[in-house]
Structure 1
Amino acid sequence: MAHHHKTNKEVEGNPDRGHGRGMPLRPDEERLEERTREDERDVGLPVREPESPERVYEQERTEIDRQVDRGEVETGDVTRKERDPFPPSDYDD
């Protein structure tokens, strides 16, 4: 049988105010990350440490700059007011 990660109180909710209504509004991100690392370790995957948000941002920024330099991404000098208010359509008038 699989291990259950929640206590009975977490599953059933508060008995004084009725039972729980499904998943919590805001899951505990740190606990989810910790459980993911535990699961990866249990199945033999290499455990990776989460990257800092700054590092991820820099990697994405570098990739976008590379794509712009190669012409893969169009950059226009058109302001928002000069653009069409709607995207192009395939419908014929």
Structure 2
Amino acid sequence: MAHHHKSNKEVEGNPDYGHGRGLPRRPDEVRLQERTVEDRREMGLPVAERQSPQAEYEAEQAEIDLQVGEGEMETGDVTRRERDPFPPSSYEG
């Protein structure tokens, strides 16, 4: 008998889902990302190390705060209830 290079969980999967129809509808995103990083390293391409979602959010928030502070981005003092429910349109009604 040939030795599997995958664990039993990867080979068998969930017994209630994904059997009998070929490839799964959604690949394992974490494993897919790991394989992408491995492949890029093997090919000598730069690998962009991802930050945690919280760190990405904080970096984006800091950039927005910087742009607001320098006047590059304006903020409105209008609350959500005071805003128009639809964006402006170029159509004349």
Q: Tell whether the structures are fold-level matches, with TM greater than 0.5.
A: yes
2:21 counterpart residue number: 19
**C-alpha distance after superposition, 1:10-63 (max 9, x if no partner):** 8xx63xxx4247622xx3222012101111111102444332223212211111
Q: Measure how far apart 1:64 and its partner are.
A: 0.6
- Three-state SS of the structure 2 residue aligned to 1:42 is helix
1:86 counterpart residue number: 86
The within-5 A match list for 1:1-93 is 14=19, 18-20=20-22, 23-24=25-26, 27-93=27-93
Equivalents in 2 of 1:21, 1:31: separation in Å?
Answer: 15
Equivalents in 1 of 2:88, 2:47: separation in Å?
Answer: 46
| CA 1:39–1:21: 2 relative to 1, 3 Å | closer
AA in 2 matched with 1:30: V
- Structure 1: gaps (5+ residues): 1-6
Equivalents in 2 of 1:21, 1:29: separation in Å?
Answer: 14
TM-score, with length taken from structure 2:
0.65
- Three-state SS of the structure 2 residue aligned to 1:55 is helix
Equivalents in 1 of 2:80, 2:62: separation in Å?
Answer: 25
| CA 1:48–1:79: 2 relative to 1, 3 Å | closer
- Three-state SS of the structure 2 residue aligned to 1:30 is helix
Identity of aligned residues (%): 59
Q: CA RMSD in A?
A: 2.7
Where in structure 1 do 4 or more consecutive aligned residues deviate above 3 Å?
7-10, 46-49
